[in-house]
Structure 1
C-alpha cells in the first residue's frame, strides 16, 4: 500500500528559504564583528531608554546625541558625561546607566552564556569563541568554567562593596537613597566606570578616606581581570600562578606604587592638600594613583593640578588595566612585555624571559603592533577633534589629547572639555570610547575581516638600517 507524500506548502517553503538566508548572513559575520554589533545594540537600547520622559527630570531636556553619548560612556565603562549624572537623570535614568555599566563591565556575551548555563544547553563553538575574545583566553576548552568565575566573583565583590558602603551612605542620605548610592557606586567602581551620583562628585569624602579605600579596593578588583582572580583563588590548591597572572600582578603593583610616589612628588605643593591632615593627604594621593589610571573617580578638580600631574595622569591612563578586566587602555601586560623585550635587547639577549619562562615572538609582535596602532589611532582622533574644538581658545592641545586618551583608556577623566564638545566632537569621543572598550584588535578585525593565511612562498631576507 503506497503512502501519500505531502509536499510543503508555499508558505513553508518561503519560511525555510528565509531561515537559510539568515543563517548564510550570520555565517559570514566574523566573531569580532558579532562582538562589535552586540555592543552597538546594547548602546542603542540604552540611549532609547534614556530618551524616555521618566529617565530625566521634567525641567531638564537633552538631545538624542546626549543620550547616545551617555549610553556609550556607560556601556564602555568610561564615565565621561555631557550632563550631570546626579542632577540631570532621575532614579530610573540612573538605574539604566547602572545596568549599562554592569553589561559593559561583564561583557554582553556573559549574559547569553548565562542563558545557556541556566538552560543546561551546550555552548557551540561560535559562542565559546566570542567568550574567548572578551576574556582574552588562550584556549576554548574552559570558557564555561571561566564564565562561572566571572559571574560568581563579580556578584560577590560588588555585593561586599555595596555592604561596606551602605552604612556610610545611609547615615548621610537615608535608607532608600543611601542603599541605592551604595549599590550604584559599588557597580561603578568595580566596573572602573567612574560614574558618580554623589553631590559635588563626592568632594566631601576627601576627608573620609574609608570611602576612598573601599572604592579603591573595588577598582583594583575590577582592573586585575577575571583570569588573575581565578589564579589567585585557586592558588591554595594549585600552588602556582600562570605567567599572565604573575606579570599582571607585578605590573599592577609597580604602577600603583610608582604612581603613588610620583603623585606625592608632583602634588606636594597642591593648595587643597594643605587643608587635609597628613594621613588623609597620603591616602588621597594613593586613591589618585589607583583611580586615575583606570576608573576616573576624581575627588579634586584638575584646575588645581600641576602640569606634571596632568602629564603623569595621561601616561597612567594610556597604560590602563589588565587584559580580560573591566578596564581599558594599552594594558599592563602589554607594557610589561615591551619592558622585558627592551631589557633583553639592551643586554644583547635574543630570548625574552620572565619568571623562568620564555615569551613567544607572537606575544612580542602583538604588543608592538598594539602600541603602534593605538598611538596612530590616538593621533588621528586628536587631529579630528582639533579640527572642530581647536578653534576655541579656552581649550588648548592638552585638553584635546587628555580627552582622547581618557576616552580610549575608558578612564573617564576630563580637564573640562566634555560638556563643551560639539556634535562632531561627541561622535569622535564616542568612537574612541567604543573602540577602547571593545578593543583595538576586535574593531580592526571587524573592519578588515582578517583571516589567517599562510603564503606558499617566502621572499629573500634583507635588513634595513634602524636608528
Structure 2
C-alpha cells in the first residue's frame, strides 16, 4: 500500500521512464523464451534485453538478425514492442480507457502532456484520439501497398505478414526488417512502390502527431500553427539538402550509387536523406559509404525527427531555434523571430540545454566505446549517434559489440527515446523554486 502511494506521488517524467523500463523488461523476458526463436533455443538475456530496448525505443539496432533468428511469434512480439514504443504506453493506455469509457483523470492528462511533449493539457485527449486514428489508418494503407508489392516475390500469406510488419516498423521509425542477413531494403533499391511507400511512412511518422492533426484540419481552418510551419519547413530543407549532398558524395562510388541508373541514383539519394531522420532502414550498403557521407549522416541522425513523433534526436524545432539564435546574434537582434512570431527565452534555454546534454551523451558514449571496442572511431561515433537518435542505421558494429558495449548502446537508446532532459528530470532530485536572485554579472564571450 505504501509503495503504491509513493508511485502516485512520482512526477510524470519518472512515471514515463519507469513505464518504458517495465515494457522493455517484459519484452526481454518474452524474447528470451524458446518460442520466440526460429531454432527453439533461448536467446541470451542480455541480447534479448538489447533487442527489446531497441524495439521499444524504436531504434532498430540489432545483435541478431531479425528475419532469420526470430520465429513468427517472436517477430509479433517485436511488432507489439515498437507499436507501444512508437505511440507511447500512455497513448495505448488512453486507448483502453476510451474503449472502456473510463474518465481520463487530471494526473493522466499531465502524463499524456509529458508523453506527447505538449506545452498545455488543453485538447490532449482529443489529440490522442486523432493520433490513434491517423496511426492505424496510415499503417493499414502502408501494409496494403507493401503486401501488394511483396506478393509478386513470395506467397500471399507471407506477403501480408511482411507488409504489416514493415508498415508498423517504418511508421514508428523502428527500423526493423525481416528480409534476413541484415539486408534491410537493399533488395528493392530501385523499386518505386517500396521506396515511395517506405519514405511516406517514415516522413509521416517523423513529422509528429501535432503536425499531422494540423494538416488534416487545414482545409477547414486554412492555417497552420507556428510549430507545424517550423517542422514542415525544416524537414523539407533537411531532406532536400541531404539528397543533394548524398548524391554528390556517392555519385561515383561503384559500391553504392555508381552502379545505378539516373532514376535509381536520385531515388536512393532521396531515401538515404530521409532514413537518418530516425527510420533505420536503408536501400544502400552503409558499410560501403564514403567517410564524408557517413559523417554527414551522423549530423542528420543527431538532428532527428520532430517533437511528438515516433522519432528521436534533438528534434527539428530545437535545431531551428539554434539556427535562429545564430542569425539573431549575427544581425544584432534581441529576439528570435520565426514566421513573424517571437520565441520566448525559455524555448531558447531549453533548446540549448537539450543540445548540449545530447552532444555530451554522444561524446561520452563514443569515448567509452573507443576503449571497449576494437573498431574505427568514425564507426563508433556513427553507432553511438544512431543509438541516441533512435535511428537504427549501422555500419556493422552492433552485432560485434562486447557485453559492455551492448549495455552502453542499450542505455543510449533508452535515453534517446525518452529524451535526455526527461531522463534528467526523472532521475534527478526534485527542484525547489529559488527564493532570491543573484546580482547580474558580466563575462567576456567569444
Task: Work out whether residues 251 and 258 of structure 2, in 8 Å CA contact, stay in contact via their aligned partners in 1.
Answer: no
Picking from 15, 25, 29, the partner of 1:48 is 29
| Aligned residue runs from structure 1 range 219-230, under 5 A | 219-230=202-213
| Aligned residue runs from structure 1 range 45-124, under 5 A | 45-58=26-39, 61-124=42-105
Measure the CA separation in 2 of the matches of 1:336 and 1:316: 13
The residue aligned with 1:454 is 433
Picking from 387, 399, 422, the partner of 1:407 is 387
TM superposition shift of 1:126 = 1.4
Distance 1:450 1:334, change over 3 A: farther
**Count of aligned residue pairs for this structure pair:** 443
- Residue 432 (str. 1) matches residue 405 (str. 2): no
- Cα deviation, 1:174-224, whole Å, max 9, x if unaligned, reads 111100000000001101111111243232211213211110000000000
Stretch of structure 1 that moved more, 361-370 or 124-133: 124-133
Task: Work out whether residues 239 and 273 of structure 2, in 8 Å CA contact, stay in contact via their aligned partners in 1.
Answer: yes
Measure the CA separation in 1 of the matches of 2:125 and 2:288: 47
- Residue 175 (str. 1) matches residue 164 (str. 2): no
Task: Work out whether residues 149 and 193 of structure 2, in 8 Å CA contact, stay in contact via their aligned partners in 1.
Answer: no
**Greater share of residues in helix:** 1
Measure the CA separation in 1 of the matches of 2:240 and 2:258: 23
Stretches of 4+ moved more than 3 A in 1?
A: none
The residue aligned with 1:359 is 343
TM superposition shift of 1:454 = 3.1
Unmatched 5+ stretches in structure 2: none
Measure the CA separation in 1 of the matches of 2:113 and 2:436: 32
Task: Work out whether residues 209 and 284 of structure 1, in 8 Å CA contact, stay in contact via their aligned partners in 2.
Answer: no
Unmatched 5+ stretches in structure 1: 1-17
Stretch of structure 1 that moved more, 401-410 or 27-36: 27-36
Measure the CA separation in 2 of the matches of 1:191 and 1:294: 9
- Residue 296 (str. 1) matches residue 275 (str. 2): no
- Residue 309 (str. 1) matches residue 288 (str. 2): no
Measure the CA separation in 2 of the matches of 1:62 and 1:92: 14
TM superposition shift of 1:302 = 2.1
Task: Work out whether residues 293 and 313 of structure 1, in 8 Å CA contact, stay in contact via their aligned partners in 2.
Answer: no
The residue aligned with 2:444 is 465
TM superposition shift of 1:44 = 0.8
State the TM-score, normalizing by the size of structure 1.
0.93
| Aligned residue runs from structure 1 range 66-465, under 5 A | 66-199=47-180, 200-272=183-255, 273-389=257-373, 392=374, 395-451=375-431, 453-465=432-444
What is the root-mean-square deviation in Å for CA atoms of aligned residues? 1.3
Measure the CA separation in 1 of the matches of 2:324 and 2:402: 42
Measure the CA separation in 2 of the matches of 1:169 and 1:140: 43
Task: Work out whether residues 292 and 298 of structure 1, in 8 Å CA contact, stay in contact via their aligned partners in 2.
Answer: no
Measure the CA separation in 1 of the matches of 2:249 and 2:47: 35
- Cα deviation, 1:136-164, whole Å, max 9, x if unaligned, reads 11111211101001100000000011111
Task: Work out whether residues 60 and 88 of structure 1, in 8 Å CA contact, stay in contact via their aligned partners in 2.
Answer: no
